[in-house]
Chains A and B, each alone.
Chain A
Amino acid sequence: MRSEVTGLRKTPLNDAVRRLGARLVDFAGWEMPVQFQSVIEEHQAVRTRAGLFDVSHMGEIDVAGGDALALLQHLTPNDVGSLAIGQAQYSALLTPNATFVDDVLIYRLGPERFLLCVNSSNTAKDFSYLRASAAGLRADVEDVSDSYAQLALQGPRAGAILARVTGADVGAIRSYHFVEAEVAGARSILSRTGYTGEDGFEIYLPPGSAESVWDAVLEAGKADGVVPCGLGARDTLRLEARLPLYGNDIDETVTPLEAGLGFIVKLEKGEFLGSAILHDQKEHGVPRRLIGFEMTGRGIARHGYPLRVEGREAGTVTSGSYAPFLKKNIGLGYAPAGSDRIGQRIEVVIRDAAVPGIIVKTPFYKRRA
C-alpha cells in the first residue's frame, strides 16, 4: 500500500496504529510509528512488562532448492549447516571483502528451504545480491516481503501473553527457535527472537490477518500492561543491548569481527566469501573495533558526532542516545586497535565542545536469565 499524500509505503497496521495515536515518521520509505505515548514509557514497558511493535516493514526473502544451503554457506559467515529445521540464526550477508551487505536472521524452514529476515532499507539490494549469487545454482530466491506482516512482542510477560492467543506450547520454544502455529486464528511463524535485549517473540503472519492479531495480542496482554511501541523505543532498547543497527553501526565498510560479532564468524565451517580476510583479522587482530561508551560529562552523543580517542579523531559516533532504563547517556563507535580497552577515556564532540566519556563493558544492559 502506498499513501497518495506522502508517497510512503504503509504496513497493514497503518490504520490500527493511527487509531492508537501513533506519531508516524518516514522510516526508509515506510510510514512507521516512532512513538505512541512516550519513548521512555514504551522502553520501560518492554524491560518490565511487554511491548508490541509493528515491524512489518522488515523484508523477507525465501531461498529454496538443492543448492540453497550451499548458497547461504557461501554468502554468510555463520554455519547455516548447523541449523536444525525450526531453528533461527543471526548472521550477515557478506561482500567479497567480508563486510556487511546486511545483517540477517536465517530461519530453516525445511531441509532445502530457508527464510531470511532482512532490513527493510536493504531488501531490494539483498534480493538482487542473492539472486545474482544464485546464478547457475539450484536455488530459487524470492522476495516474499509482501506475503508477511511482522509483529514483535517483547518483554518478560511476552510468553504469558502469547500463550493466551495460540495453541502452540509457547514455553517449549527455545531462544532462536520457531514453530509454525496459529496465533489468534492466523497461520504464523512464531519465533523466539527479538531486537530489544529482552525475552520475546517475532510473529510472521499473512498481512490480511495483521490487524486482528495485533488487536488480539493487545487485548490478551491488557492485564499484564502490554503497550504498543514505536521504532523510537525499538532503537533505544536495541542500543542498551548493544544490538547493531545497519547503516549506523555496521555497513559495507566494516567486517563482523570489527563490529564485535565474532560469534557469527565460524571459520571452521570452511571457505566462504571473505573468509580469508576474517582469518587474517582473527590471527593478527582488527584495525578498529566497535566499542561502547558511557558519557561522563554532560551531553548526549548522537550518530555522526566526532569521536576522539587519545586526542585524535577516531571516527564518529555510530549510535548514541539517552538510555531510558540505565538512565545514562551511552553510545557506540569505532576505536582504533590499542585504544579500545574498557576504561579508556574518549571524547565526543558535541556542538563544538569535547565532552568526556569512557569505554565500558557491553552490552550496556543484559537481562537477568
Chain B
Amino acid sequence: MSEKRQGYPSDLKYTREHEWVRLEGGVGIIGITEYAQSELGDVVFVDLPEKGRALAAGEELGTIESVKAVSEIYAPVSGEVLEINETLREHPEKVNGDPYGEGWLVRIRVGDRPEIDRLLSSEAYRSHVEEGE
C-alpha cells in the first residue's frame, strides 16, 4: 500500500519533525507525512486545537496517538486555526490511510510567508528521512 503512495509530494513543504503544509492562497493545510504515519502505526486518537486559536511556529498544535505511542504535533508555521478535521474524531485511522489527503489535521490562516520559505522542499525532506534511517 505505502509503496504505491507518493511519499514526498512535491507541492508540499515539510518540517524535520515530519509535518507538511500545503499552501492554498493565504491558507495553509497541515498534516503529518507518510513516513510519520508509518512510524507511528495505527492511529487511534487525534487531539486538535480549538478553532480560532493563534499558533506560533513550532508551538504544539496537537497530539496524535497510535496504539503504542503518543506523539506531539508542532505548527510548521504561525497562523490562526480556521478549521480542524472533525472527521478524525471518529476516524483517526484516516491519518494512516491518506496522510496527504483525508488525513489532514488543520487549516490555518498563514501570516508569514518567509516562514514557509524556510521549510524543507520535498527533496530536502526526503534526504532528511533517508539519512535518519
Shortest CB distance B124–A (Å): 26
Q: Could you tell me if B67 and A351 are in contact, using CB atoms closer than 8 angstroms?
A: no
Q: Could you tell me if A300 and B45 are in contact, using CB atoms closer than 8 angstroms?
A: yes
Q: Which residue of B lies closest to A233 (CB)?
A: B67
Does chain A have a CB within 8 A of B98?
A: no
Does chain B have a CB within 8 A of A302?
A: yes
In the complex, the number of residue pairs spanning A and B with C-beta atoms less than 8 Å apart equals: 38
Q: Could you tell me if B67 and A39 are in contact, using CB atoms closer than 8 angstroms?
A: yes
Known: A38-B41, A300-B45. A236 touches B67 (CB 8 A): yes
Collect the chain B residues with CB atoms within 8 Å of residue A300's CB. 44-45, 65, 70
What separation, in Å, do the CA atoms of A40 and B65 have in the docked complex?
A: 13
A-B CB proximity, top 9 nearest: A322-B44, A39-B67, A40-B42, A232-B68, A38-B42, A300-B45, A300-B65, A322-B67, A39-B42
What separation, in Å, do the CA atoms of A300 and B70 have in the docked complex?
A: 9
| Besides the known contacts A40-B67, A235-B68, 19 further A-B residue pairs in the complex with CB atoms under 8 A apart | A23-B41, A35-B41, A38-B41, A38-B42, A39-B41, A40-B44, A232-B68, A298-B45, A298-B89, A299-B45, A299-B47, A300-B45, A300-B65, A300-B70, A321-B67, A322-B65, A322-B67, A329-B45, A351-B63
B residues sitting closer than 8 Å to A (CB atoms) are 41-42, 44-45, 47, 63, 65-68, 70, 89
Collect the chain A residues with CB atoms within 8 Å of residue B70's CB. 300, 302
Interface footprint category on A = 10 to 19
Shortest CB distance B31–A (Å): 20
What separation, in Å, do the CA atoms of A34 and B42 have in the docked complex?
A: 13
Q: Could you tell me if A232 and B41 are in contact, using CB atoms closer than 8 angstroms?
A: yes
25 interchain pairs, CB-CB under 8 A: A23-B41, A34-B68, A35-B41, A38-B41, A39-B42, A39-B66, A39-B68, A40-B42, A40-B44, A40-B67, A232-B41, A232-B67, A235-B68, A298-B45, A298-B47, A299-B45, A300-B45, A300-B65, A300-B70, A302-B70, A321-B67, A322-B44, A322-B65, A322-B67, A324-B42
Shortest CB distance A56–B (Å): 21
Q: Which residue of A lies closest to B60 (CB)?
A: A351
B interface footprint on A122-140 (CB within 8 Å = 1, 0 otherwise): 0000000000000000000
Shortest CB distance A230–B (Å): 10
Shortest CB distance B86–A (Å): 13
Shortest CB distance A65–B (Å): 43
Q: Which residue of B lies closest to A321 (CB)?
A: B67
Q: Which of A203-239 contact B (CB under 8 A)?
A: 232, 235-236
What separation, in Å, do the CA atoms of A351 and B63 have in the docked complex?
A: 10
Shortest CB distance A257–B (Å): 31
What separation, in Å, do the CA atoms of A209 and B44 have in the docked complex?
A: 38
Known: A39-B68, A302-B70. A322 touches B45 (CB 8 A): yes
Collect the chain B residues with CB atoms within 8 Å of residue A39's CB. 41-42, 66-68
User: For A38, A302, A322, A329, which residue has the most chain B Cβ atoms within 10 angstroms?
Assistant: A322
Collect the chain A residues with CB atoms within 8 Å of residue B66's CB. 39
User: For B45, B65, B66, B68, which residue has the most chain A Cβ atoms within 10 angstroms?
Assistant: B68
Collect the chain B residues with CB atoms within 8 Å of residue A236's CB. 67
Q: Which residue of B lies closest to A329 (CB)?
A: B45
Shortest CB distance B99–A (Å): 15
B interface footprint on A21-65 (CB within 8 Å = 1, 0 otherwise): 001000000000011001110000000000000000000000000
Q: Which residue of B lies closest to A327 (CB)?
A: B44
Collect the chain B residues with CB atoms within 8 Å of residue A23's CB. 41
Collect the chain B residues with CB atoms within 8 Å of residue A351's CB. 63
Q: Could you tell me if A324 and B63 are in contact, using CB atoms closer than 8 angstroms?
A: no
Shortest CB distance A110–B (Å): 41
Collect the chain A residues with CB atoms within 8 Å of residue B45's CB. 298-300, 322, 329
What separation, in Å, do the CA atoms of A322 and B92 have in the docked complex?
A: 12
User: For B41, B42, B67, B89, which residue has the most chain A Cβ atoms within 10 angstroms?
Assistant: B67
